[in-house]
Structure 1
């Protein structure tokens, strides 16, 4: 399946079915993040139940500390 993640077209394995799979792939499932799929924000408790489809546009923003 091809999706766009943060503006980059990527190929995901066929067994990826939900947002939680994508977050685990990038090892950011435990970070404070905001996820948007096709222009709609997906709240954390819906990451496991929100299915992804071919050509979806996923935006992931995570916060980085610094000074």
Structure 2
């Protein structure tokens, strides 16, 4: 499946069907992230139920702590 993630075209496994699974595949599971899916900002509770499809566009921002 082809997705655009943060402006870059990426191929992901067809086994990845939800935002939650996508975050796991990108090693972002459990991290503080904001996900915009097809120009809609998702609540964290929606990550497990939002089904992604070929051609979807996502912006994923994750927060990095530091000093």
Instruction: Find the counterpart in structure 2 of residue 18 from structure 1.
Output: 18
Tell me if 1:45 matches 2:24.
no
TM-score (norm 1): 0.93
**Following the alignment from structure 1 to structure 2, what is the Cα–Cα distance between the partners of residues 48 and 32?**
15
- The list of structure 1 runs, each at least 4 consecutive aligned residues, that deviate by more than 2 angstroms after superposition, is none
Would you say how many aligned residue pairs link Structure 1 and Structure 2? 67
Structure 2 spans left out of the alignment, 5+ residues: none
**Following the alignment from structure 1 to structure 2, what is the Cα–Cα distance between the partners of residues 51 and 5?**
15
**Following the alignment from structure 2 to structure 1, what is the Cα–Cα distance between the partners of residues 37 and 60?**
9
Structure 1 spans left out of the alignment, 5+ residues: none
